[in-house]
Amino acid sequence: MKTKGLLLITFFVFSISCFSQSIVYYPFNSLLGFSSNTQKRVWIDAKLQTNSYFSSLSTDIAPQINVNKNSRARIFVGGGIKLNYLNVIENKNILDGFFANAGVRASPFEKNKRIQIAFEISPFVNKNLDIGIFRSHLGIGYSFNK
């Protein structure tokens, strides 16, 4: 049992360091975000819900586009889909809805530019386009790239 747990932790750390270039935790929304290289013009962002029982296992997946080239703060826009894997059990449709993003990732510390503050506004609409919500995310992150 300990070997399986150690193997799972090793795989998780390896996948974060190889495939994601930054990680952000949004404590007010209980989301954990993984991103590709946020310094590139186009990058991918994925957010996982972290404090759910088995009522919702939602994941947001979104391509993002940087609209500025400032090294201290990157403003971005994008949009994507929200998936809920437990919807397959109830109604056979994994798609939960659609959203748009606008946000900023700032590096407030001169000595350690890898630490980031992330803020996003993200209007969301469900897959039937009849219910919407205006979401906002505030978090702290770490960028693995230089």
pLDDT, tens digit (0-9, with 9 covering 90-100), for 76-100: 999 999 998 877 777 778 898 999 9
21-143: CATH number:
2.40.160.20
Q: Where are the domains of the chain?
A: 21-143
**Cα torsion at 81, 141, 74, 29 (round to 10°)?**
40
3-state DSSP helix/strand/coil percent for the chain, to nearest 5? Answer: 15, 50, 35
| Residue-wise pLDDT tens digits, 30-68 | 899 999 988 889 999 999 988 766 666 788 999 999 999
Q: What is the pTM of this model?
A: 0.79
